[in-house]
Amino acid sequence: GSVEGAIEEERRRLGTVRESADVAIDTSDLNVHDLRRRVVELFGDGSSRDSTQVTVMSFGYKYGVPPDADLVLDCRFLPNPHWVEELRSMTGLDPEVQDYVASFELTDEFLDRLHPLLDLLLPAYVDEGKSVLTIAFGCTGGRHRSVSMAERLAGWLRQRGIEPRLRHRDVLK
pLDDT tens-digit series, residues 31-76? 877 787 777 767 765 554 557 899 999 999 999 999 989 999 999 9
The size of the chain, in residues, is 173
| 64 close to 130: Cβ distance less than 8 angstroms | no
Lowest-confidence segment of 13-27, 41-55, 96-110 by average pLDDT: 41-55
* 70 burial level (CB within 10 Å; 0-12, 13-18, 19+): middle
First-to-last C-alpha distance (Å) of the chain: 48
pTM passes above 0.85: no
Distance, CA of 77 to CA of 39 (rounded, Å): 43
Q: Residues 6 or more apart from 164 whose CB is under 8 A from it? A: 54, 55, 56, 153, 154, 157, 158
